[in-house]
Amino acid sequence: MQCEPKQNGHVRPTSDPQLSAVLITGGAGFIGTNVADRMLKDGCRVTILDNLSREGVRQNVAWLQQRHGRLVTVVAADVRDPAVVRRAVENVSHVFHFAAQVAVTTSLLDPRNDFETNVTGTLNVLEAIRARNNRPSLIYTSTNKVYGGLEDVDLRADGCRYAPVDRFIAQHGISEARPLDFHTPYGCSKGAAEQYVRDYARSYGLRTVVFRMSCIYGPHQFGTEDQGWVAHFLIRALAKRPITIYGDGLQVRDILFIDDLMEAFFLAWRQIDALSGQAFNIGGGVARAVSLLELVDLIGRMTGHAPGVRFEPSRSGDQRYYVTDAAKFRQATGWSPKVSPQEGLQRLHSWLLETRHGAPVELAVS
C-alpha cells in the first residue's frame, strides 16, 4: 500500500504491493506519534524506527499499538546503524525523518554523540533513499537554532517580554533571509544535516523539504528542561513543583500546536515536487508569541494554581527572542496556523490529566 496526501490534510492508501508503508524515524517521539496516528487512522501502514531512549516514548508506542494493531510496525533500532536504516527504507513511499539528538545542553556535554545522531544518522537516511530505484520523498525537521543566538537583534523590555526594536522584525518575525549562524554543537549538527538534505535534492534529485521549526507542543509530549518547554512547564505545574527559568523569563518564542504542524507536513508532502530542496521556517508567528513569564501566568490561570518559579543563569545558545516569519511557506502552500495558545494549552492540559492514571502496556517491537 502506498500512501499519498489528500487535499483535506489526510492521507490516502492506494493499492501497490511494492510499497507497504510510510517510514517515521523517531516515530515514537511526540511529533512522530501524532503523525503516525493521523496516518494510521486513514488506513495507511506506518513503520516506526526509534531507539526508544527518550522518556515517555514507550508509552506512546503502546498507545499506537492499542489503537492500530498490525498497521503499525515498530523497529527498535538507531539511525546511526546504516544497515538497519537501509532495511527500514525498503518498500516505503515517504520518509518523515524526526530521529535526532534534540537538546542543546546534551550536545554541549557529548558533541560526538550529537554529531553522529544528527549528521551521520541523517546521511544514513539520505543514502538509503538514494540507493532505491523508486525513491521515497523526505521531510526533515530542523530547528530555528540554525540562526544562532540572534545577539544582533536589538531588544527592549516591554512588560513581561522582550520586543524587537526593529519594526519589521516586530511585525513579522525572523525569515529565511536571515543568515545561518550555527551556535552550539546542536546548532552545528542540525544545520549540517539540513544542508545535506537540501543538497541531496540538488546533487541527486531526491525530493526533500526542510522545516526549521520553532516551539511545537501538544499531546504525547513529555517535555523536559532541555526540550519541549511548554509541556514541561505544564507538567511541573500539575505536579505542584517549581518551574526553573534560565534567564529573566522575558524570552519570547512563538508556539505552534501539533495539529497545525501536521497540516504543514501534509501540504509539503502533497507539493513535494514543487518545494523540493527548500527550507521553510515553521512556527506560530507573531500572533502566537509568548514569553516564558506569560506562559507561566497562562498556566496559573488555567490550573487555578500559580506555579512556583525559580531563576537560574541563562544557558549557552539561548535566544532571547525568536518568532517565526512563515510567509515563505504560507505563500507557497496557503498554510496558516489555526489553534490559539489558549486552546492548544487547554488541549495539552486535558491530555495530561487524562493520561496521568494510565497503566503502562507491554510493547511489541522488532
* Extents of the domains making up the chain: 2-355
> In this prediction, what percent of the chain has a pLDDT beyond 90?
85
Q: Using CA of residue 243, residue 174, residue 185, residue 117, what is the dihedral sign? A: positive
Question: What is the per-residue pLDDT across 27-72, written as a single tens digit (0 to 9) for each?
Answer: 999 999 999 999 999 989 999 999 999 888 999 999 999 999 999 9
Which of residues 270 and 361 earns the better pLDDT score? 270
Q: Which of 225, 236, 230, 262 is nearest to 338 (CA)?
A: 262
Contact 227, 103 (CB under 8 A): yes
Check if 196 is active-site. no
Cα 192 to Cα 120: distance, rounded to the nearest angstrom: 10
pLDDT of residue 352: 93
User: What is the number of alpha carbons within 13 Å of residue 46 lying toward its C-beta?
Assistant: 31
Q: What is the 8-class DSSP label of residue 45? A: -
Contact 38, 32 (CB under 8 A): no
195 pLDDT more than 80? yes
Record the pTM.
Answer: 0.93
Average pLDDT of the chain, as a whole number: 92
Q: Which of 226, 1, 273, 201 is nearest to 108 (CA)?
A: 226
Q: What is the 8-class DSSP label of residue 144? A: G
Question: What is the per-residue pLDDT across 200-241, written as a single tens digit (0 to 9) for each?
Answer: 999 999 999 999 999 999 999 998 877 899 999 999 999 999
Longest dimension (CA), the chain: 59
Say how many Å lie between the first and final Cα of the chain, rounded. Answer: 21
Question: What is the per-residue pLDDT across 303-331, written as a single tens digit (0 to 9) for each?
Answer: 999 999 999 999 877 899 999 999 999 99
Count CB atoms within 10 A of the CB of residue 226.
15
- At 339, list the grid cell: 489553534
Under CATH, which architecture does the 2-355 domain have? 3-Layer(aba) Sandwich (3.40)
pLDDT of residue 286: 98
Strands 243-246 and 309-312, by their bridges, are parallel
363 pLDDT more than 90? no
Question: What is the per-residue pLDDT across 234-268, written as a single tens digit (0 to 9) for each?
Answer: 999 999 999 999 999 999 999 999 999 999 999 99
The DSSP secondary structure of 151-211, one letter per residue, reads: TTS-EEEETTEEEESSHHHHHH-B-TTSPP---HHHHHHHHHHHHHHHHHHHHH---EEEE
* Secondary structure (H, E, C), 67-133: HHHHHEEEEECCCCCHHHHHHHHCCEEEEEECCCCCCHHHHHHCHHHHHHHHHHHHHHHHHHHHCCC
Classify burial at 255, counting beta carbons within 10 Å of its beta carbon; exposed 0-12, middle 13-18, buried 19 or more: buried
* Secondary structure (H, E, C), 210-227: EEEECEEECCCCCCCCCC
* Catalytic one of 186, 196, 321, 322: 186
Cα 298 to Cα 345: distance, rounded to the nearest angstrom: 9
